[in-house]
């Protein structure tokens, strides 16, 4: 990408958001108009008020309680921020969508989203920060959704605080449609259904989640997309809630652990001939965040994005088909 594609924040030091007041805004305070029209949070309003470049009406510096008239041009200038604590690192990125407000990437398996204690490099954040710096953009890394290290697929990164606020609200209200493709051992009890079981931490291992009565309410919707004999199936999964390891825990709870998932596997499947056959093809849970649907945080337009299956899952799918054919001929 050349310089002509640079984000406006690289030149101005802020992201501008504008709107024109309509008849319903006449006589209202600026703060009220922004809350009604843009859903500005109290925290962001405080930041805008404190900034010398935060709020403008008709090109003039404005205060939150200034009265608004129909036709006024209101401008928010959201200051650019950088992730100075994240070390930039060049890496190949699979960018599915990007504009001045958000970035959506197809994360490969084996990469964590954000640096953690003792793991400061080789994360998605390192690569994104390097990418933005190489283009001269001043942007802070703000992931809206996260995936487990060994789950591949779509991750949304907001490029400023307003976009993050709006997308986070959509996540809380379950307005972000998240669909996954999974490959599991066995078959669910029905070809299409839901798993509504509470999930909580396991007492012996706080990193591990289990179904337990005192856990958080958790809802997963599934539909069988393909069967491979009696031993495996492909599933299209949609989340009704977003708990840690939710899909993996729920599928194991109905006797269909994900292929390749060493953490939530069942010994009976681990010792099966099928497990031995696919062991050289996939060495992580067979789970991919294949599509996302949400409202654009600024324009309000619907956004629908997809990410093709990675190579290891395509090979797994083919091997399962081969197995099915061999069994049918036997």
Active-site positions read 148
Q: DSSP labels for 265-299?
A: --HHHHTSHHHHHHTTT--S--EEEEEEEEE-TTT
36, HSE (Cβ side, Cα atoms, 13 Å): 12
Question: What distances in angstroms separate CA 216 from CA 47, 104, 222, one per listed residue?
Answer: 34, 29, 19
For residue 180, give the DSSP letter.
Answer: E
Write out the two tokens for 234: 């492909």
Q: DSSP labels for 152-164?
A: EEEEEEESSHHHH
Write out the two tokens for 174: 């379950």
For residue 42, give the DSSP letter.
Answer: H
């Amino acid at each position: 990408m050349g310089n002509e594609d640079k984000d406006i924040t690289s030149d101005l030091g802020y992201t501008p958001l504008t709107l024109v007041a309509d008849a319903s805004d006449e006589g209202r305070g600026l703060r009220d108009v922004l809350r009604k029209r843009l859903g500005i949070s109290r925290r962001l309003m405080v930041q805008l008020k404190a900034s010398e470049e935060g709020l403008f009406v008709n090109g003039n510096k404005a205060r939150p309680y200034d009265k608004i008239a129909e036709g006024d041009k209101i401008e928010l200038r959201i200051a650019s921020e950088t992730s100075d604590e994240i070390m930039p690192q060049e890496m190949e990125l699979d960018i599915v969508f990007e504009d001045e407000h958000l970035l959506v990437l197809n994360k490969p398996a084996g990469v964590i989203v954000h640096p953690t204690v003792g793991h400061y490099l080789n994360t998605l954040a390192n690569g994104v920060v390097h990418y933005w710096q190489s283009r001269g953009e001043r942007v802070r890394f703000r992931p809206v959704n996260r995936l487990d290290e060994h789950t591949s697929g779509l991750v949304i990164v907001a490029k400023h605080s307003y976009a993050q606020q709006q997308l986070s609200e959509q996540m809380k209200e379950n307005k972000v449609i998240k669909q996954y493709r999974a490959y599991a051992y066995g078959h669910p009890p029905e070809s299409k259904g839901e798993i509504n079981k509470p999930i909580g931490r396991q007492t012996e291992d706080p990193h591990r989640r289990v179904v337990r009565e005192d856990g958080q309410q958790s809802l997963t919707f599934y539909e069988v997309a393909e069967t491979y004999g009696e031993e495996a199936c492909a599933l299209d999964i949609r989340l009704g809630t977003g708990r840690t390891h939710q899909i993996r825990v729920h599928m194991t709870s109905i006797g269909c652990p994900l292929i390749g998932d060493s953490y939530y596997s069942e010994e009976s499947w681990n010792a099966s001939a099928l497990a031995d056959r696919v062991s050289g093809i996939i060495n992580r849970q067979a789970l991919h965040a294949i599509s996302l649907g949400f409202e654009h945080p600024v324009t309000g337009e619907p956004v629908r994005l997809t990410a093709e299956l990675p190579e290891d899952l395509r090979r797994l799918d083919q091997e399962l088909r081969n197995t099915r054919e061999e069994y049918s001929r036997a």
